A and B are shown apart, each in its own frame.
Chain A
Amino acid sequence: MAKFIVKRIGYMLVTLFIVVTATFFLMHSIPGDPLAHMARNLPEQTRENYYEKYGLDKSTSEQYLIFMKNLVTKGDLGESLRYPGREVTDTLLTNASVSAQPGGLALLAGIAIGILLGIVAALNKNRWPDYIVMFIAILGITVPVFVLASVLQYFLSVKLMVLPTTGWGSWQNVVLPVIVLSFGTIATYARYVKSNMLDVMGQDYILTAEAKGVSKLNVVKKHVLKNAFLPCMTLLVGQVSGIFTGSFVVEKIFGIPGLGFYYINSINDRDYTMIIGTTVFAAALFVFVQLVVDIAYSIMDPRIRVK
């Protein structure tokens, strides 16, 4: 077990190193001057000071070493090129804590509701609850988030005026983003749990349990659910990243000052240090979730470790 965890952490570090290095060099290979828009009209001396401040007077490889050193020793990702004085790391942490609220809630709600709907659908196969759940699942998979967001805004905020359209600060602002973000997760989990449960229900040990006279409730509780849930763990990684990328659009639409909102802004601003920082941060988060899920999975399902 310890060996497995060490190996996994090793992979994670290698992956992170590659992502950071690739992002850094790719961003620095963009032709043109990242400070051009700010430094164009400045006097010679001020401009030189500017370049020195961001280390842009050094060669790319030197900049890389400095960047890596700061990142590894201090967790420092540099300073925003667009907004001098704004530390990338601080900004990211502030934004991430904002994003985490709708994101986390959406993940929890999505998984809980998705699993519940999946169970209902599997137990009522080919009857109306199954059809309703599968209809919701198909909607969730086929309707793009930005469409769903707009439609909900239109009906709930403009027509019925029960919830605010955009903004941040009160609990009402979180409701719509959570619904929109969780929709995809609900759909994915409902479909997956249903097909897993049907798979398990066809196994011999379920037949054995039923033949022994175990009550239907206990068969489902003790045998079906336990075995059907395990594979759902692997979906979690995709869902976390889905919520993450989904939040790019959702935050933009609902005006939530989170990671996605600022990421898109920094892309439009060509704020290179912010782009590198956010990419590295997102990749780190993603890889870390993967690690946690992998370890949790191997604890719950010993068959994985043998392979």
Chain B
Amino acid sequence: MMVNHDVTDRMENIPDEKFTIIGIDKDAEAPTRPRVGYWRDAWRRLKENKVAFAALIILLILVFFILFGPAISGYEFEQIDADAINKGPSAEHWFGTDDLGRDLFARVWQAGRVSIIIGILGAVIASVVGSIYGGIAAYFGGAVDDIMMRIVEVLLSIPYLIIVILISVITDSKSLGTMLVALTLTGWCGIARLVRGQMLQLKSQEYVLAANALGVAPIKIILKHMIPNTIGMIIVAITFDIPGYIFSEAFLSYVGLGIQPPSTSWGALASAAQQNFMFYPYQLMFPALMIALTMLSFTLLGDGLRDALDPKLRK
């Protein structure tokens, strides 16, 4: 005992300068390549996926025209011109004009604003609500989870468009806000299920158990482990949902329950053009092409994002 005490005493008296590092080269341990985080890694894989990258570029082009198209056209989208009714595509009117002589190039991009806003906002709102709901259900578990998921099951078993139509009829307001409410009212249920499933799976993972055992606070576990591991899935779900909302909006406007004049959307344009389709097919062609391109791009981008963001699918 005495000796031991002596040794530690003497050890403490040795000044720090006496210690030198020998045999370890710090540079040898330094990584030669830059660190690659989750997002960097995902972006790299997305870039390698040619189809998804092409879809992303098409989307960016569409967004560019939606932002600046009406200005480029040189016409107001509501501007009526009695001298240029139902003119086909030409140098003055790139996409032609409609039955009131309004420039379709300006109208298509103006309509795109409404369609894209509804698509993105709808998907984001539904995802946020669904994630919170699913997260709460998974976090509490037990009876809370049971009741919450029963509610989702009931909501999911009602035909989606019936609810949307019903809400539009009841509110009788055709503003963007009401449409978003109608579209997202049960739209979040699917994502709630997804998030709950993912969270439950994560809860039983070893690293969450380890974090728990080490005494990490629950809020930190949620922030550090649960959310980062779910966010990729949510982003993919948003991407896949956007075309769905654009499609639903197009459907509603087509049926006459959606966006009303003077404002317009791709669905409303297609609906108006359908009546003249036999004589002026180009009027339907352009909005339909934009709907199809947008839906296609988001679907392909979603495929690519799923491969890029889901580490479990890595080969």
Determine if B270 and A144 form an interchain contact, defined as CB atoms under 8 angstroms apart.
yes
Question: Is A239 interfacial (CB-CB < 8 Å)?
Answer: no
Determine if B288 and A248 form an interchain contact, defined as CB atoms under 8 angstroms apart.
no
Q: How far is the CA of A283 from the CA of B159 in the complex (A)?
A: 6
Chain A stretch 1-41: residues in CB contact (< 8 A) with chain B: 11-12, 14-15, 18-19, 23, 26-27, 29-30
Q: How many residue pairs bridge A and B at CB < 8 Å? A: 101
Name the B residues within 8 Å of A252 (CB-CB). 255
Name the B residues within 8 Å of A146 (CB-CB). 251, 254, 270-271, 274
Which listed residue, A26, A142, A153, A249, touches B299 by the CB 8 Å rule? A142
Determine if B158 and A268 form an interchain contact, defined as CB atoms under 8 angstroms apart.
no
Question: Is A282 interfacial (CB-CB < 8 Å)?
Answer: yes
Which listed residue, A18, A144, A248, A286, touches B247 by the CB 8 Å rule? A144
B298 shortest CB reach to chain A, Å: 9
Question: Is B250 interfacial (CB-CB < 8 Å)?
Answer: yes
Given A244-B159, A248-B161, A270-B169, 16 more pairs with CB closer than 8 A: A27-B166, A27-B170, A138-B296, A142-B296, A144-B288, A144-B291, A147-B284, A147-B291, A150-B284, A154-B277, A154-B281, A241-B160, A245-B160, A248-B251, A252-B255, A286-B157
Which listed residue, B157, B160, B166, B243, touches A23 by the CB 8 Å rule? B166
Question: Is B9 interfacial (CB-CB < 8 Å)?
Answer: no
Q: How far is the CA of A283 from the CA of B162 in the complex (A)?
A: 8
Interface bin, chain B: 35 or more
Q: How far is the CA of A142 from the CA of B58 in the complex (A)?
A: 15
Q: How far is the CA of A244 from the CA of B274 in the complex (A)?
A: 21
A226 shortest CB reach to chain B, Å: 25
Question: Is A80 interfacial (CB-CB < 8 Å)?
Answer: no
10 A-B contact pairs sorted by A residue (CB < 8 Å): A23-B166, A141-B295, A142-B295, A144-B251, A146-B271, A147-B270, A244-B159, A264-B255, A264-B256, A279-B166
Q: How far is the CA of A252 from the CA of B288 in the complex (A)?
A: 18
Report the count of interface residues on A (CB-CB < 8 A): 41
B164 shortest CB reach to chain A, Å: 9
Q: How far is the CA of A281 from the CA of B197 in the complex (A)?
A: 32
Contact indicator per residue, chain B 49-83, by CB within 8 Å of chain A (1) or not (0): 00000000000000000000000000000000000
Q: How far is the CA of A15 from the CA of B172 in the complex (A)?
A: 26
Q: How far is the CA of A137 from the CA of B288 in the complex (A)?
A: 17
Determine if A286 and B159 form an interchain contact, defined as CB atoms under 8 angstroms apart.
yes
Name the A residues within 8 Å of B172 (CB-CB). 30
Which residue of B has the minimal Cβ distance to A145?
B251
Question: Is B191 interfacial (CB-CB < 8 Å)?
Answer: no
Q: How far is the CA of A15 from the CA of B243 in the complex (A)?
A: 28
Name the A residues within 8 Å of B243 (CB-CB). 142
Determine if B255 and A249 form an interchain contact, defined as CB atoms under 8 angstroms apart.
yes
Name the A residues within 8 Å of B154 (CB-CB). 11, 14-15, 18
B191 shortest CB reach to chain A, Å: 16
Chain B stretch 110-163: residues in CB contact (< 8 A) with chain A: 153-154, 157-162
Nearest 4 A/B pairs, CB to CB = A147-B288, A142-B295, A245-B161, A142-B296
A3 shortest CB reach to chain B, Å: 17
Question: Is B24 interfacial (CB-CB < 8 Å)?
Answer: no
Determine if A267 and B169 form an interchain contact, defined as CB atoms under 8 angstroms apart.
yes
Question: Is A106 interfacial (CB-CB < 8 Å)?
Answer: no
Question: Is B257 interfacial (CB-CB < 8 Å)?
Answer: yes
Q: How far is the CA of A150 from the CA of B133 in the complex (A)?
A: 41
Name the A residues within 8 Å of B296 (CB-CB). 138, 141-142
Contact indicator per residue, chain A 286-305, by CB within 8 Å of chain B (1) or not (0): 11001000000000000000
